[in-house]
Structure 1
């Protein structure tokens, strides 16, 4: 499935002018999905329609997909029936995220709504919820999944649990989404806002590292910034990441030569299929650069995890093979050419047998 970047908007905690500017800015950086909360609305039904229509009209003009977060309380408050979703079609949204679930039969029936609205399910529960819904012959192209976010520090999902929950949706080939947290965004749905990530361990990471990890899992199609407003710098950094292969930020050593620089940055790297525990090997590049000389430098040290090394002239047929160090070792037939950014070392386990990867600086 095509992968997207998204932003979140909280119309009852912000003003239209600021939301409008943010939506436009994010669009310029290639964002194409909006999560919009309807959980904390105030005012009459007509006022709600007017407020949200202005935002969705703008979003649709900029080709966003807009999913509205709703709950049974909102249906009751606005006097809306689950059997008639025309109110939401009138708002101009593409789908509804059901913050709470029903019995499976109801969700399956909702997926056939005549308005053609997407029905997005809560992914953050390791129960047979989605399997039950699909048992009732749900309209699968209109069933999405989206994780929760967690405003309170210490309450986000642990990684292993996140994987189990996500696999329930992915094995059914359903579209999935999860949240990452801006380090500058202050607006969310509730008064407590320690960031709005899905994964607790990623709460304080740079936003682009969070996104790289989400995409690297292979379990998430859309990555959404949970809090608003992300800074222009965060939006730009997110716009530059590769959504389909692991991309590692590298800091080069001062003595790197032109050949090594070219090997690292200007090639598609593939981890050799017969993996080992000491290094990640990119072996195809040595064939391309077999005729290029590579004098030894920075080769008398113990290489550490995250170091990037390339075989020098003393390495025979392995000259100009690129490797990422996983376990400390010494080998003077290899030159140290750079280091993976410390924040991105967590991405290395996602580079598996035959995985594609690349470097950026």
Structure 2
């Protein structure tokens, strides 16, 4: 399934002109979907319609898919029924995210709404929620899944629980989404905002590393920025992200030579299928590069995340590139640099035959 970038806007807590500038710049960076919260509406049906239709219309002109986040109290607030979703269709929305669930049959019935609205389900529960809905013969192409975000520090999901929840959706081929958090944005739905990630381990990480991790799990199709507004630098970094394979940020040593730099940066790497626990081996490059590679930075203990390349003393393995997984020493290898420390978590996703690159 193709992968997308998304962002969030909060019309009840923002100014239209600022929202428009934000989504316009993000669209130029390749963003394609918008999460738009309706959980805070209090102004009545007509005022809500005017406010939301304005930003949704602008978003649709930019090519965005717009999903509205709603809860049962919104229907009471607006005086509308779950059996008639025309209000949201008339706003121009593409779908509704149900913050709270029903009995399974209700969600399945909603997926056949005459307006073709997508029904997005809450993924952040490790229960057979989706299975129940699908047993009621839901309109599967119109079912999405999306995790929650968590404004309070310490309250977001641990990785193992996130994996279990996500696998329940991914096994059925449902489009999935999760949130990353800008390190500068302060906007959100509530008065507490310690960042808006899905995973607690992401809360203090650079936003592009959060996104790399979510894509690397193979469980998430859409990565959405939870808080607003992310900086232009963050939007650009996400726009430049390789969504389909891990691309490690490599901090070179000043002693790296031109051949080693070319081997690292200018080649498609993949891990050998017959793996070892000591290192990730990219072996094809040694067949293409026969040039001499004198020794340098070869006599220390290599640490996890170090990048090494075989030197002239390594015989047939000269110019083979390796990523160190467990500490070891070998004077036949030159250390050329290290993977950025915040990205070391990505090493867990380099499996047999996994493709990867460096930048």
Q: Same fold (TM over 0.5)?
A: yes
Unpaired stretches in structure 1, ≥5 consecutive residues: none
* CA positional deviation for 1:301: 1.1
Q: Any idea what SS the aligned residue of 1:176 has?
A: strand
Residue 345 (structure 1) aligns with: 344
Q: Which runs of 5+ in 2 are unaligned?
A: none
**1:58 corresponds to 2:58:** yes
Q: Give the number of aligned pairs.
A: 359
Structure 1 segment 196-345 matched on structure 2, within 5 A:
196-289=196-289, 291-345=290-344
The residue that corresponds to 1:174 in the other structure is: 174
* 3-state DSSP of counterpart to 2:285: helix
Distance 1:253 1:96 in 2: 50
- Asked whether the 8 Å contact 2:42–2:77 carries over to 1, the reply is no
State the secondary structure of the residue aligned to 1:74: helix
Deviation at 1:124, TM superposition (A): 0.2
Which residue number in structure 1 is paired with residue 355 of structure 2?
356
Give a deviation string over 1:140-179, Cα, whole Å, max 9, x none: 1000000000000000001000000000000010000000
TM-score by length of 2: 0.99
Displacement of 1:295: 1.1
TM-score (norm 1): 0.99
Q: Matched residues in 1 for 2:247 and 2:221: separation?
A: 17
In the alignment, the residues of structure 2 paired with residue 80 and residue 204 of structure 1 have an alpha-carbon distance, to the nearest angstrom, of 40
Q: Deviations over 1:171-209 (max 9, x none)?
A: 010000000000001011000000000001111100000
Distance 2:73 2:288 in 1: 62
Aligned partner of residue 303 in structure 1, secondary structure: coil
CA deviations on 1:44-64 (whole Å, 9 max, x unpaired) are 211111111111111111110
CA contact (8 A) 2:155 2:200 kept: yes
Q: Work out the CA distance in 2 between the residues paired with 1:351 and 1:240.
A: 21
Asked if residue 149 in structure 1 is aligned to residue 149 in structure 2, the reply is yes
RMSD between aligned alpha carbons?
A: 0.6
C-alpha displacement of 1:71: 0.6
Q: Is the partner of 1:208 in helix, strand or coil?
A: helix
Deviation at 1:302, TM superposition (A): 1.0
1:76-155 equivalences under 5 Å are 76-155=76-155
- Aligned 1:2-17 pairs, distance under 5 A: 2-17=2-17
User: How far apart, CA to CA, are the structure 1 residues paired with 2:119 and 2:228?
Assistant: 24
Partner in structure 2 of residue 184 of structure 1:
184
Runs of 4+ that moved beyond 2 A:
none
Aligned mates of 2:185, 2:254 — CA distance in 1 = 36
Secondary structure at the counterpart of residue 330 of structure 1: coil
Cα deviation for residue 28 of structure 1 reads 1.1
Aligned to 1:159: 159
Question: Shift of the alpha carbon at 1:42?
Answer: 2.2
Q: Is the 8 A contact 2:280 2:324 kept in 1?
A: yes
Deviation of 1:300 after TM superposition, in Å, equals 1.1
- Once the two structures are TM-superposed, the CA of residue 349 in structure 1 deviates from its matched residue by 0.5
Partners of 1:13 and 1:261 in 2: how far apart? 48
Distance 1:236 1:338 in 2: 25
Q: Counterpart of 2:254 in 1: which secondary structure?
A: coil
1:247-284 per-residue CA deviation (whole Å, 9 max, x = no partner) reads 10001111111111110000000011111111011111
